Amino acid sequence: MTEGIHSYIKEAFGAPDVDIRTYSPLTLAYIGDGIYDLVIRSVVVAGGNTRAGELHKRTSQIVKAHTQAKMMDILLPLLSEEEQEIYRRGRNAKSPTMAKNATMSDYRKATGFEALMGWLYLRDEFPRITELVRAGADGLHLKF
């Protein structure tokens, strides 16, 4: 592991080291949701300056549960055994809420995807996050 964004933030705020194996899948999904959103927003903004409403429209189509679920169908064969296990833990987690416009199947796959993103982030594996998001976006022929 190399020093990454997560380590930098922890150091800047004096946050203690925590064994990420103790985090619940829903905690991993919580941070993973924000990280995935940040990656997609960064790519959308890199496409050029435009109205905030248009940026939001482009981003929300990509970060919704249905798109994340389809992305996982593409990514699953590319994952290591350890990554697959994190995804399964997230997918199988019992969440007290459900996304507004998603099927239960899509919501669970998306939660697994977000848990994987969170786990990779907490391990400072940002290059792997971008590699997977890029592979999923290419597989879905997403336009940013």
Q: Can you tell me which residue has the tokens 């590319």?
A: 78
Distance CA 47, CA 143 (A): 10
Residue of 33, 37, 124, 138 marked active site: 33
Alpha-carbon gap, residue 10 to 47, rounded angstroms: 30
Using an 8 Å Cβ cutoff, are 40 and 59 in contact?
Answer: yes
Structure tokens at 44: 């959308």
d(CA 34, CA 41): 10
Is 33 among the residues known to form the active site? yes
Tell me which amino acid residue 6 is. H
User: What six digits make up the tokens of 109?
Assistant: 């796959």
Structure tokens at 59: 């981003």
The answer to whether the CB of 101 falls within 8 A of the CB of 109 is: no
Q: Which residue numbers are catalytic? A: 33
